[in-house]
Amino acid sequence: MNRSREDTLAFERHEANSNSGVIINLLMAFGLFVAFIIWWTSLPLTNPNALDDYGLISILPWQFWGSIVLVSLCFVFGLKFSSVVPWARPAALLIFILLLHATTPLVYGTLRYSWAWKHIGIVDYIQRYGGVNRVEPFLSAYHNWPGFFWISAQAADFLKMGPLEIANVARFFPVVSNVIYVVLLGKIFRRFTDNQRVVWAALWIFSCANWVGQDYYSPQALSYALYLFALTLCLGPLMPRTTIRKKTLFRTRTWFVQLAPKASLNSSWLNITAVFFFAFAVFGIVASHQLTPLILAFSLLGLSIFAPLSSGYPVLTVLALVFWVIYPAAPFTSLYLPREVADIGQTMDGVTNKMVDTSSVERGIAVVVWAGRALSGAIVFLALFGWLRSIKNRKPVAIVCVLLIAPGLVLGLTSYGGEAVFRIYFFCSPFLAFFAAVALFPDRNAKSEALSYIVFFPIILLMSLGFLLGNNGKDRQYRFSPEEVEAAWWLYSQSRPGTLLVEGDRSYPSQFMNYENFQYLPISRERPKDLAEIIEKPASVFSRWFSDPRWQDGYVIVTRSQKASVEALGVVPEGTFDNLELDLMASPDFLLVYANKDARIFRASRFSKFE
Whether pLDDT at 1 is above 50: no
Least Cα distance to 474 among 566, 374, 380 occurs for 566
| pLDDT above 80 for 539 | yes
Provide the CB-side half-sphere exposure for 408 (13 A, CA): 9
CATH number at 480-608: 3.40.50
Give me the mean pLDDT over the 246-272 stretch.
52
Kindly report each contact of residues 60-65 with a partner whose C-beta sits within 8 Å and lies 24 or more positions away, as own/partner: 60/103, 60/468, 63/38, 63/39, 64/38, 64/39, 64/99, 64/103
How would residue 271 be classed by pLDDT, with cut points 50, 70 and 90?
confident
Tens digit of each residue's pLDDT (9 = 90 or more) over 74-107: 999 988 887 778 888 999 999 999 999 999 999 9
pLDDT score recorded for residue 12: 44
pLDDT at 13: 47
Query: What is residue 340's predicted lDDT score, i.e. its pLDDT?
Result: 57
The answer on pLDDT for 244 being more than 80 is no
pLDDT grade for 591, boundaries at 50, 70 and 90: very high
The confidence score (pLDDT) of residue 461 equals 95
Q: State how beta strands 518-522 and 590-596 pair.
A: unpaired
List all residues 6 or more positions away from 216 whose beta carbon is below 8 Å from its beta carbon: 112, 113, 116, 170, 173, 174, 177
Judge whether residue 226 has pLDDT over 70. yes
CA-closest candidate to residue 556, choices 498, 487, 501? 501
Helix (H) or strand (E) holding 600: strand 599-604
Rounded to the nearest integer, the mean pLDDT of the chain is 86
Question: Is 526 a residue whose pLDDT tops 90?
Answer: no
Instruction: Determine how β-strand 499-503 pairs with β-strand 599-604.
Output: unpaired
Q: What pLDDT, on the 0 to 100 scale, is given for residue 582?
A: 93
pLDDT tens per residue, range 32-56: 999 999 999 999 999 999 998 898 9
Q: Which alpha helices (DSSP H) does 307-406 contain, by range?
A: 312-326, 330-342, 351-354, 363-392, 398-405
User: What percentage of the chain carries pLDDT values higher than 90?
Assistant: 59
pLDDT at 251: 46
**Angle, CA of 470, 471 and 477, to the nearest 5°:** 100
Mean pLDDT value of segment 336-360 = 54
Q: Could you tell me if 223 and 292 are in contact, meaning their C-beta atoms sit under 8 angstroms apart?
A: yes
Residue ranges of domains in the chain: 2-108, 172-444, 480-608
